[in-house]
Chain A
Amino acid sequence: MAELVIESGRIERQYWRDLWRYRELFFFFTWRDLLVRYKQTVVGVSWSLIRPLLTMLVLTIVFGKLGKMPAGKVPYPLLVFCGMLPWQFFAAAISECGSSLVTNSNMISKVYFPRLVITVSSVMTTLVDFLISAVFLIALMIYFHYPPHSTVLVLPFYILLMVAISFGVGLWIAALMVQYRDFRFIVPFVVQFGLYISPVGFQTSVIPERYRLLYSLNPMVGIIDGFRWCILGPETIVYWPGLAIAIAEVVVFVASGIWYFRRTERVFADVI
């Protein structure tokens, strides 16, 4: 076994090798979170269906029925659900990932492993919920007799974008929350707010053309649009500048998130 050197600012070198060595831990944490999630609940896993279902109903009523937003030929619940799928993932992932370090603080101060494992696992846990909801989407499409278009083949690309942006933002929040617990209050606020400023309950087409670019600064706009385009087919159109912005933001957030996380990781145990 190689010699391990612990020195101020030197731990870096073993880091990525350690991450590989601890690869099983990713699954163990995910598995733990999933196992624990619905313990001592009456309806159990159904919660990951009930929540999106109720949200879909409310948004359909508020935006579709009361707000009379356009939906083209697409049933409004379907339109909403396609937007909710990535949004709920994003919201859950940044909350879970953001608080993951603080929640596991007892471990962080008592045992070594690359802390990145915790954050990645929390995103993976959220992804499982996403997949359950996705199954529900299929049921919904069957119910509305809405066959998927061939564009659905591009969906994995958008899922990747969605996971990446959530991970990038989550990393920032996780690292910041270790020092500044203020983020415990900021995150729910962002999540609540984001639901209305992102095109979840309505289509991006209702935004006036001249504000379109500005609106696309929200990375979830490009991603939600992409989901709709993939699932609902050419009923919606791809807004390329929006997609480009989203991709750029994904790259920036993931890269800077890892950078900041790594930079602050060495003091986590001291400040948590």
Chain B
Amino acid sequence: MAEKPEFAISIANLSKLYFIGENRAKQDGIRHVIEKAVRAPFAWLRSRRQKKSEGVEFWALKGISAQIRPGEVVGIIGRNGAGKSTLLKILSRITIPTEGRVSINGRVASLLEVGTGFHPELTGRENVFLNGAILGMPRSEILRKFNEIVEFSEIGKFLDTPVKHYSSGMYVRLAFAVAAHLDPDILICDEVLAVGDAAFQKKCLAKIKGFAESGKTVLFVSHNPETVRSLCPRSIWLKDGHIEKDGATEEVLDGYLDSVARGVSFSWENPDYGLTIHKVILRNADGEETRRFYPGEDLVVDVFYEAKKRIERPIVAIGVIGISGSCFTSNMLLDGNSPECFEGVGKVSCTFKSIPLLPQSYTVKLNIRASTVTDMIVPYGEVGSFNVIGDLAEYGYTGDYLQYAARSTPVVVPYEWSLPDGRTVSVALNRIQTPSPQ
């Protein structure tokens, strides 16, 4: 490594076009090709020349440009179908771009999936060699690193068992272990960490982190904003095939999380009762409309309605739902606080005090019943969503596995440990440090 190249990856005006359409299968069938050739040879020849003219065009990527310097760790975020996978596939040379070009300086290892090419009938040992070879490791290198790989994978005595008898965790551990020892200059990583148990995931993340710290270039694709935050100083947000934002991770994630939470604004009309819900907004304690809350903040849900007919004793319920189910609700059916009536234009609000929620994504659901209880004026359904963000370290959390808060049970009521050594420790989602400026 005498001189360091100016960039590790340079992407210039990259586009990828796919053809999709319901009759694609038919077009590709050999019968169709023969049929067309026989029926109208000239038309067929012409269509061969400009063949891709049929079918629906779909630009999976359109005009992507980016420069990644050696040693940078870049997160790539975006919703499903935003073009993340296509970009990685082009960078890993699995597919070619329709337009544009990419220059890469250095040896690339891409992990679009762990265990690519693992054969279930082969033993762990055999698969290490096979997988290593597929990933481009010479046999001598695999031999040299073999013990390290086995140790990292924690497979131990199952090394000579066919991998079809492995648990999925063991399988992934072994597969990642091989990939982790590739020792490339540029690592391209896609959702690899979505599998395996927590302890091993931590190990993998540490490996990638170590990799980044040793000055290698990393491209990291993840659905988990917190992982990207902890790993990548820079992020690229892909949206519908173009780069929506490229910059410091904090800034990019802010925009991304906002857009994920925004969704479609809710409105509802029930002609039978003459009730229209114009909108539902979420506010914080300062009264600002937002989609981002910190743990322990107040969450205000405003429901704006217009009742063309008078509705007696409507029963309103609002629920907050996390990834694993309902977190908490406010429900007039139980607390008995139904208003006298809805009439004309009005607003009903509910403030959830100091929401005890971990940094995750949540949705808000609304339900309005008539006084008969069984009649739904607004059926229980999603009316909005928000993200709880923040670094748990600022809340006094010191565990080694903080990144798994993203998948933990979301509701945390204040609690207290009484420990055998006589100490009493309180935990609550109250910020104990001043937040870093966002």
Contacts and interface: CB of A to CB of B under 8 A. Distances in A.
Q: Do A and B bind each other?
A: yes
Interface of A: 1, 3-11, 21-22, 24-25, 28, 31-32, 35-36, 39-40, 104, 106-113, 179-180, 182-183, 266-267, 269-271
Given A4-B105, A267-B96, 6 more contacts: A5-B103, A8-B96, A8-B99, A25-B133, A109-B94, A112-B92
A112 B111 CA distance: 11
A106 B116 contact: yes
B30 A1 contact: no
A5 B102 contact: yes
A271 B100 CA distance: 21
Contacts of B130: 28, 31-32
B95 interface: yes
Interface stretch (B119-127, B193-201, B319-327, B359-367): B119-127
Interface residues of B, number: 46
Contact of A36 (B30, B98, B119): B119
A107 B28 contact: no
B138 interface: yes
B121 A270 contact: no
Contact of B95 (A1, A25, A270): A270
Contacts of A40: 121
6 contacts: A6-B91, A11-B93, A35-B126, A111-B94, A111-B134, A266-B96
Contact of A6 (B104, B126, B162): B104
B136 A21 contact: yes
B30 A180 contact: yes
Contacts of A11: 93, 96
A6 B89 CA distance: 11
Contact of A35 (B94, B97, B122): B122
Interface in B64-102: 89-102
Interface of B: 5, 18, 28-31, 33, 89-108, 110, 112-113, 116-117, 119, 121-122, 126, 129-130, 133-136, 138-139, 162, 185
A272 to B, nearest CB: 10
Given A107-B134, A111-B110, A112-B92, A24 B117 contact: no
Given A3-B103, A8-B99, A110 B30 contact: no
Contacts of B119: 32, 36
A6 B136 contact: no
Given A35-B126, A182-B29, A182-B30, A110 B96 contact: no
A270 B18 contact: yes
A180 B29 CA distance: 6
Nearest to B89: A269
Contact of A3 (B28, B98, B105): B105
A111 B97 CA distance: 16
Contacts of A109: 89, 94
Contacts of B108: 4
B194 to A, nearest CB: 15
Which 5 pairs from chain A and chain B are nearest by CB? A112-B93, A7-B101, A180-B30, A6-B102, A28-B133
Contact of A112 (B103, B110, B129): B110
B90 to A, nearest CB: 6
A128 B391 CA distance: 60
B97 A4 contact: no
A35 B123 CA distance: 10
A21 B134 CA distance: 11
Contacts of A179: 28
B133 A6 contact: no
A112 B94 contact: yes
Nearest to B135: A111
A18 to B, nearest CB: 9
Nearest to B18: A270
Nearest to A9: B96
B92 A111 contact: yes
Nearest to B94: A269
Contacts of B117: 104, 106-107, 111
Given A110-B112, A112-B110, A8 B122 contact: no
A4 B129 CA distance: 26
Contact of B121 (A21, A39, A107, A108): A39
A63 to B, nearest CB: 34
B122 A36 contact: yes
